[in-house]
């Protein structure tokens, strides 16, 4: 599974608090399933819920949600394209008047196909397919988030291959 690593890198690039203290984001995978068919070609899909816990978060939750949704837009677009799907959820525990533990749940999938190699006999290459970005998305974006006129996050995002992307190089 590569999406959790990719998302962590994306959020760390976008959120200065995570750059300073990466341990404030705990990620676990729950409810994992392998979805496969009896087709002659070997292929499967990982389906799971990624649970992200932002510990002792003192900024507004928007600071997390904006870069998270930018990533989802490219890497799991059907969560946004299907309003009936409830694939993005959250819980919050307010620790005091200034901080909370924010838990975000994302229902993710990752497709894998096996390609037979000519040699050695029986060898396969396992290819993780990246989700195709929507056609209307620009190739590059610059994001800045302000809350009450204070800049709280800023990053550049290459839509075709963000830092740490699981997408194959063009």
Write down the domain spans for the chain: 2-158
Per-residue pLDDT of 125-169, as tens digits, reads 999 887 766 554 545 677 787 877 888 777 776 655 543 444 333
d(C-alpha 123, C-alpha 165), whole Å: 26
Q: What does the block give as tokens for 118? A: 């000519």
Crossing angle between the packed helical segments 3-14 and 62-75, to the nearest 10 degrees: 140
**Which phi and psi (to 5°) does residue 4 adopt?**
-60, -40
d(C-alpha 9, C-alpha 6), whole Å: 5
The pTM of this model reads 0.77
Give the residue carrying structure tokens 């978060």: 57
Per-residue pLDDT of 89-133, as tens digits, reads 999 999 999 999 999 999 999 999 998 888 888 888 999 887 766
Half-sphere exposure of 121 (CA within 13 A, CB side): 0
d(C-alpha 76, C-alpha 105), whole Å: 13
């Amino acid at each position: 599974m590569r999406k959790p690593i990719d998302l962590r890198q994306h959020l760390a690039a976008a959120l200065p608090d995570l750059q300073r203290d990466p341990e404030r984001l705990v990620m676990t995978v729950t409810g994992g399933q392998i979805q496969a068919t009896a087709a002659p070609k070997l292929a499967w899909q990982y389906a799971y819920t990624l649970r992200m816990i932002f510990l002792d978060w003192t900024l507004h939750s928007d600071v997390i949600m904006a870069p998270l949704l930018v990533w989802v837009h490219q890497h799991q677009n059907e969560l946004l394209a299907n309003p009936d799907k409830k694939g993005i959820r959250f819980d919050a525990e307010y620790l005091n008047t200034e901080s909370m533990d924010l838990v975000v749940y994302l229902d993710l999938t990752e497709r894998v196909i096996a390609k037979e190699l000519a040699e050695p006999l029986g060898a396969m290459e396992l290819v993780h397919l990246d989700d195709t970005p929507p056609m209307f998305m620009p190739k590059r974006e610059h994001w800045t988030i302000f809350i009450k006129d204070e800049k709280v996050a800023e990053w550049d995002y290459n839509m075709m291959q963000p830092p740490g992307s699981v997408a194959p190089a063009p």
